[in-house]
Amino acid sequence: MASAIIPIAFLIFFSNFEPSSQFSLSVENPNEDVIVSSPKGTFTAGFSPVGQNAYCFGVWYSKPDRTLVWMANRDQPVNGKRSTLSLLKTGNLVLTDAGQSQVWSTNTLSLNPLELHLFDTGNLVLRELNNQSSVLWQSFDFPTDTLLPAQTLTRFTQLVSSRSESNFSSGFYRLFFDNDNVFRLLYEGPRVSSVYWPDPWLVSNNVGSGNGRTTYNSSRVAVLDSFGKFTSSDHFSFETVDYGLLLQRRLTLDHDGNVRVYSRIDGQNKWLISGQFRQQPCFIHGICGPNSICSYDHTSGRICSCLQGYSWIDEQDWSLGCKPSFQPSCDNKTTYQFLPLDEVDFYGYDYGSSFSNFTFKQCENLCLQLCDCMGFQYTFAADNGLFWCYPKTQLLNGHHSPGFSGTIFLRLPKSIENSRFQNNVNGLVCPKNSGAKQLDRSYVKGKENGSVKFMLWFASGLGVFEVLCILMVWFFLFRNSSHLGSGDKQGYVLAAATGFRKFSYSELKQATKGFTQEIGRGAGGIVYKGVLSDNRVAAIKRLHEFANQGESEFLAEVSIIGRLNHMNLIGMWGYCAEGKHRMLVYEYMENGTLAQNLSSNVLDWKKRYDIALGTARCLAYLHEECLEWILHCDIKPQNILLDSDYQPKVADFGLSKPLDRNSLNNSSFSRIRGTRGYMAPEWVFNLQITSKVDVYSYGIVVLEMVTGKSPTAGVQTTESGEVSHNERLATWVREKRRKASSAAGGEASWVEQIVDPTLGPDYDMNQMEILATVALECIEEEKDVRPTMSQVVERLQSHEHDSR
Ligand SMILES: *[C@@H]1O[C@H](CO)[C@@H](O)[C@H](O)[C@H]1NC(C)=O
Ligand SMILES: *[C@@H]1O[C@H](CO)[C@@H](O)[C@H](O)[C@H]1NC(C)=O
Ligand SMILES: *[C@@H]1O[C@H](CO)[C@@H](O)[C@H](O)[C@H]1NC(C)=O
Ligand SMILES: *[C@@H]1O[C@H](CO)[C@@H](O)[C@H](O)[C@H]1NC(C)=O
Ligand SMILES: *[C@@H]1O[C@H](CO)[C@@H](O)[C@H](O)[C@H]1NC(C)=O
């Protein structure tokens, strides 16, 4: 016992006599030992937990959820005991792990007294006390994965992604200025590196050609302004969808390799994505690791799957990719077969260059002769009428793109049975909680064995001191153990969850004045207006269908919805589950629903275009972001709300259900969902339900916005008779377009014929035509012909500024 106790006392004794520090912060008081920014207190600097008994010194948004924006020691978290940040008399700011080793320092030197100051911009600055303009060190010069407004990314700095959603260590992606002055995204995996943004096959040039970047401006600076515009010196620029509003903003290189700008109203709970650099997640390199294929699946969003004949290296972490299930060998005894994979491409790693005018047999032989050929791409190029052969020495950045004309022929030993091919095709799910593993760090019990022995001899030699020592030890041990297991971590979790909370029935009854002010009525329940105790105006939905649903099942669904966040998705503040009462509390939208606004003619063409685009962005987010694959299933103008700027917010998930990605059977969709007039034919004909049902409903809503005609009412027309069910509006529009294209008058006039007459002549013909064309594609009978929501976003986005 004594030998375990004494070193603790010994170390405490010495750390208290640490040489000449001006001040220090201790990891043991994470709530009191912090620096709060001035003057507004937006940011806090201090120790933040990043795992079990693992802390980082960092800067975070004070309220309400502790979003970390900078870390001193992301790759070397410190122990929750006796770690300190100290400003030494020498002028050096040092972070010490468990009272022993120094894990980080600013390497500064000064004889004048210094102070550490946190600005309201989030910049942590070490400066002289008497001369505040002399800055020795600042955190803005050492960004981690986040760039704040007013923080400049320079030739000396870069952003590095986190390893995963919950592991803040340096990950595989970098955003930086390359040697040719171009601003780039780089995947730097364990084995290979490659640039994936801007598209590597487009060359930078003087502006106007290629990817629009210039190599001529060597100042190498990039900055996000507080209005939401990002500019870099190579002429790349980017505006968020909420450009112009003064919001809290941050640009983060996320762990999945995409750069996203997040924004929120000061101190409100949720960060909303207001822009991202890349739209197609499968084009981000390394996203699925080697020997696997990234694909976008209609039902389940983005998935990674191992190639046939390969298996996962780590099922919890698909970024590591797959390994061959066979023994790769280079002898000439093994015989091989080639397995065709249609519409699949792997980026890079071609052997030699490429080989044109090759027959299939020649290509196959070429691959067989190469020891490390893992397969080949065989493509017919229509422009020169030749077949091209690309032997691949590595299978990286694979993706499946429907419509891609090439085929990969995978080289596998004949000994692999065909039956094995079937097993690996289904993908891993997104590693949503794969980072939930905790850092396993035990408390280090003094390694100074020599000093222990010395202390023991010393103590036993002097009886009086021994008694003193043991008393001291008991005192410290008692103090320490009272800290052990105390709920720092728990406090953090609670704080993170406060923005989304549980309301009691009586609280909501009071807020709605006894459920009197009804503002809407849907299939799932009735919506009331209410004022919460903190004076926020809320829309409170009282569900009637869920009376039989258990509380835990309800909570599971609610917590999934609570985790979603997007600019164009209605914010949810909380829920109530008490007895048989089930209620959802949402933010209240002043301008009501799209349905109300359409019938009252306040929407000009510009607003209509923005609403169509915003709604598409929200649905693309729900369908494709790697969060939860969610179908809405009831898109209609009544479920699209408008905020004070007439930006759309999609509401009402009363009918939607997150899809279980592993068992994609449709038993959970046994009931017909949706609303007459907006329902895809799949519901009627009892076909497979995929995200394309939302695409269909979306198409109908856009047609309604363009024409001003409701799909549920009859279309007033003298030419065509009444057509049955919801095909009326669609048929009418298709007919107009068909007639216009066959007539000699040219294309434009069909839009004039269908456009909502209340708009008058004042609209942008081009944008209205895009809207109508996209809408017609969305309502194709055959679901596979309809575009995905992200394709819709890209189409609409590319014409967003046409009229300006
Ligand atoms: C304060 O520091 C700055 C930067 O180091 C220096 O240029 C300036 O002369 C200093 N002012 C005084 C009064 O010492
Ligand atoms: C280079 O880029 C910087 C920052 O965007 C800009 O201020 C400067 O005028 C540019 N220089 C030239 C020569 O275009
Ligand atoms: C097998 O490979 C070796 C060297 O790799 C070569 O010398 C030999 O001729 C090959 N045998 C046949 C039958 O191709
Ligand atoms: C392609 O190869 C064939 C046979 O090897 C040859 O006759 C033909 O001229 C080649 N075509 C081109 C365009 O090189
Ligand atoms: C976080 O990632 C780093 C780097 O890959 C790894 O060494 C560390 O073990 C990870 N931590 C956890 C808790 O998984």
> What pLDDT, on a 0 to 100 scale, did the predictor assign at position 460?
38
Could you tell me the distance, in angstroms and rounded to a whole number, from the CA of residue 459 to the centre of ligand 4?
A: 93
Residue 610 DSSP SS3: helix
The closest of 578, 591, 496 to 537, measured between CA atoms, is: 591
Pocket test for ligand 5, best of 75, 169, 434 (most atoms within 8 A of CB): 169
**Relative to the alpha carbon of 441, which ligand is closest?**
5
The third-level CATH classification (topology) of the domain covering 486-587 is Phosphorylase Kinase; domain 1 (3.30.200)
CA distances from 780 to 680, 700, 727 (A): 9, 11, 11
Q: Which helix (H) or strand (E) segment is 439 a member of?
A: none
Q: Give the pLDDT confidence score for residue 175 in this predicted structure.
A: 97
What is the C-alpha to C-alpha distance for residues 322 and 395, in angstroms, rounded to an integer? Answer: 10
In b/e form, how buried is each residue of 234-269, taking b as 16+ CB within 10 angstroms? bbbebbbbbeeeebbbbbbbbbbbbbbbbbbeeebb
Asked if 278 contacts 648 with a C-beta cutoff of 8 angstroms, the reply is no
pLDDT value of residue 727:
62
- pTM of the predicted protein model: 0.58
pLDDT in the model for residue 86: 92
Q: Are strands 398-400 and 292-297 parallel, antiparallel or unpaired?
A: parallel
Q: Return the H-helix or E-strand segment holding 323.
A: strand 322-324
Which amino acid does the sequence have at 726?
N
Q: Is 723 helix (H, G, I), strand (E, B) or coil?
A: coil
Lookup: tokens for 382: 């229509």
SS3 category, 54: strand
CA atoms within 13 A on the CB side of 254: 18
From the CA of 163, how far away is ligand 5's center (Å)? 7
Q: Are 456 and 469 in contact (CB under 8 A)?
A: no
Could you count the other beta carbons within 10 Å of the beta carbon of residue 596?
Answer: 15
Record: fold of 1-142: Agglutinin, subunit A (2.90.10)
Task: Indicate the burial class of 704 (C-beta count within 10 angstroms; 0-12, 13-18, 19 or more).
Answer: buried
Give domain 594-663+670-798's CATH number out of 1.10.3470.10, 1.10.510.10, 3.30.43.10, 3.40.50.300.
1.10.510.10
**Residue 128 CA to ligand 1 centre (angstroms):** 9
Cα 627–276–772 angle (5° rounding)? 90
Residue 669 one-letter amino acid:
F
- Residue 472, sorted as left (phi over 0), alpha (psi -120 to 50) or beta, turns out to be alpha
- What is residue 507's three-state secondary structure? helix
Whether ligand 2 lies within 6 angstroms of the CB of 217 is answered as: yes
**Radius of gyration, alpha carbons of the chain:** 31
Residue with tokens 């035509």, as numbered in its chain: 769
Query: Does ligand 1 lie within 6 Å of residue 533's CB atom?
Result: no
Q: ω before 290 within 30° of 0 (cis)?
A: no
Q: What are phi and psi of 557, to 5 degrees?
A: -65, -45
Using 50 as the pLDDT threshold, list the residues of the chain that sit under it.
1-19, 419-498, 626-628, 654-671, 715-725, 804
Pocket test for ligand 5, best of 167, 320, 439 (most atoms within 8 A of CB): 167
The CATH superfamily assigned to 144-279 is Bulb-type lectin domain (2.90.10.10)
State yes or no: 541 annotated in a binding site. yes
* Helices (H), ranges, 500-642: 505-511, 551-563, 594-599, 605-624
237 CB within 6 A, ligand 1: no
- Return the domain boundaries, the chain: 1-142, 144-279, 288-413, 486-587, 594-663+670-798
Residue in this structure with the two tokens 């955003």, named with its chain if needed: 175
The CATH code for residues 288-413 is 3.50.4.10
| Among 65, 145, 317, 634, the one annotated catalytic | 634
Domains 1-142 and 288-413 share a fold: no
Pairing of strands 170-177, 183-188: antiparallel
Q: Which residue type is seen at 33?
A: D
DSSP 8-state code for residue 732: H
Cβ of 134 less than 6 Å from ligand 1: yes
Ligand nearest to the CA of 164: 5
User: Which DSSP symbol is given to 569?
Assistant: B
Is the beta carbon of 169 within 6 A of some atom in ligand 5? yes
CA distances from 308 to 140, 326, 385 (A): 47, 11, 31
Q: Is the CB of 437 under 6 A from ligand 5?
A: yes
pLDDT tens-digit map of 218-239:
999 999 999 999 999 998 988 8
Atom 7 (ligand 5) nearest CA: 169
342 carries an active-site annotation: no
